Structure 1
Amino acid sequence: MRSEIASNRFGYSTLVRSCCIGREIAKALCKGGANVYGLSRTKELLDTLKEECPTIKTLCCDLNDWDATRKAVQDIGPIDLLVNNAGISLLQNFLDVTPEVYDQVMNVNLKAVINVSQIAAKTMIDRGVGGAIVNISSIASERALQRHTVYCVSKAGLNQMTKVMALELGPHKIRVNAVCPTIIMTELGRAFWSDPIVNKPYIDRTPLGRFGEIEDVVHTVMFLLSDKSAMIHGTTIPIDGGLFVS
């Protein structure tokens, strides 16, 4: 699922761009009393999200379309929190990378982040309220993965963009941070990574000896959105069980 979700920040307005992890972030915000808007190009996914959280409002839109996305997000209203979580990965060997795959991945993983973040940040600045933005990156931003050339580059770019955003938006009291999850056991993750032959090399390199669960990401993001992280700004936090230090 690729979506944007706007909410009422435990008192703020929040925007979450999402897949299944973003879906759980949106539900957590909903449980906290947030007013949530879901934006996705797939109506069926929005329908099931609304079934799970009837208070969520939904909008159909493709993140690849700059103008349509901008119009949809602008129509939502004031935004105080933003979670950029939508992302795609199209696997190709380095020697086989095509312009089409490069453009498609970069459009979602970086260009759409710029688009939505500009809108959200400008509403925060215009209202003088400050806010918080969390970008969902990946361990692939730091670890080279075979057949993930464009994905790795997009996430490394997202990390650096997080720092630039923090530098420029900090004076407006807008905090910007990123999280870098390891392999997360979503439904798709379990289907592929539950095989011990496949997962053993990665588990052996992880000091905590396991992959991440969706709630590991959700809890970290919720913390970064909250005032409890009021002095955390411009950071990239691994959610990796220690993989980065091994």
Structure 2
Amino acid sequence: MHIPVTPSMRLDGRRALVTGAGRGLGLAAASALAAAGAEVVLAARSPQEVNESAAAIREAGGTASGVALDVVDLDATSAWLEQTPAFDILVNNAGTNRPAAFLDTEVGDYDFVFDVNVRAAFFIAQGVARKLVREGRPGSIINVSSQMGHVGATRRTVYCATKHAVEGMTKAMAAELGANGIRVNTLCPTFIETPMTKPFFDDRAFRDAVLNKLKLGRVGIPEDIMGAVVFLASDASALMTGSALMLDSGWTSTS
């Protein structure tokens, strides 16, 4: 009798790129992938931050290096992707937000958030995928979206618009790249307490409003996304593409 064997979540022999990896969710994702055996390249704008993060992963026993890269600079990003070996895994994590009421949103803020969350994410995924297709290799692209890619929220019109766009482009990418063995999915966290979001939680009313929507009764921490990243990167999710993996503490279940 054939006994099914659980697919491995090990990533030995695979190269992974994580953007926005100097801290927060990006650093958590990079650490998780390295612990699973991947060779990880951490990319972020700050060379000191990203190199210190890579060094910390190496000290923990992982294989990691850092690169100072501003993903909004499409020419520089494309040139770097062309000269580096192909990546089997991309965690498209670089992102930003400038919360504002819809009636007060300014063009500069709209352009800035879209440039990082959509334009840069689209073209770095394209660069990674092009190299995989050229070399006839499968891969996993993980676009870090948000619960806000599935609902709306006050003071987050632009952010919600960008994350809904990420969800749409992910489904279309999955439809095109599936024949090449490249899977594309989104990871959709709820509010995670990171250096970027921590100032928001200093507002007690905001924190209480968030907690009221979280069915598990707590704000997320970076460690909450680590297992999901490894799952999406590994053979354990081999039949999953064009999907959204919700890590939202039930936020969208009643929204």
Q: Normalization by structure 2: what TM-score?
A: 0.86
Offset of residue 48 of structure 1:
1.9
Offset of residue 143 of structure 1:
2.5
2:79 maps to 1:71: yes
Q: Share of identical aligned residues, percent? A: 34
Unmatched tracts of structure 2, length 5 or more: 1-9
Question: Who is 2:88 aligned against?
Answer: 80
2:134 maps to 1:126: yes
C-alpha separation in 1, matches of 2:89 and 2:244: 17
- Pairwise CA RMSD of aligned residues? 2.0
- Which among 59, 69, 78 is matched to residue 61 of structure 1? 69
- Which among 109, 113, 117 is matched to residue 121 of structure 2? 113
Question: Who is 1:172 aligned against?
Answer: 180
Look up the equivalent residue of 1:49 and give its one-letter code.
Answer: S
SS at match of 2:155: coil
User: Which has the higher mean CA deviation after the structures are superposed, 188-197 or 142-151?
Assistant: 188-197
Question: Who is 2:108 aligned against?
Answer: 100
Q: Is the 8 A contact 2:17 2:43 kept in 1?
A: no
Cα pair distance change 1:67/1:184, threshold 3 Å: same
Q: Is the 8 A contact 2:28 2:225 kept in 1?
A: no
Question: Who is 2:48 aligned against?
Answer: 44
User: Which has the higher mean CA deviation after the structures are superposed, 19-28 or 155-164?
Assistant: 19-28
SS at match of 1:82: strand
Cα pair distance change 1:126/1:9, threshold 3 Å: farther
Correspondences of 1:6-45 after superposition (within 5 Å): 9-19=11-21, 20-45=24-49
Correspondences of 1:182-201 after superposition (within 5 Å): 182-190=190-198, 192-193=200-201, 197-201=205-209
Q: Normalization by structure 1: what TM-score?
A: 0.89
Cα pair distance change 1:134/1:103, threshold 3 Å: same
Offset of residue 188 of structure 1:
4.8
SS at match of 1:51: helix
Unmatched tracts of structure 1, length 5 or more: 1-7
Structure 1 runs of 4+ aligned residues shifted over 6 Å read none
User: Which has the higher mean CA deviation after the structures are superposed, 16-25 or 224-233?
Assistant: 16-25
C-alpha separation in 2, matches of 1:53 and 1:12: 16
1:56-75 CA-to-partner distances (Å, cap 9, x unmatched) read 22222211211011112222
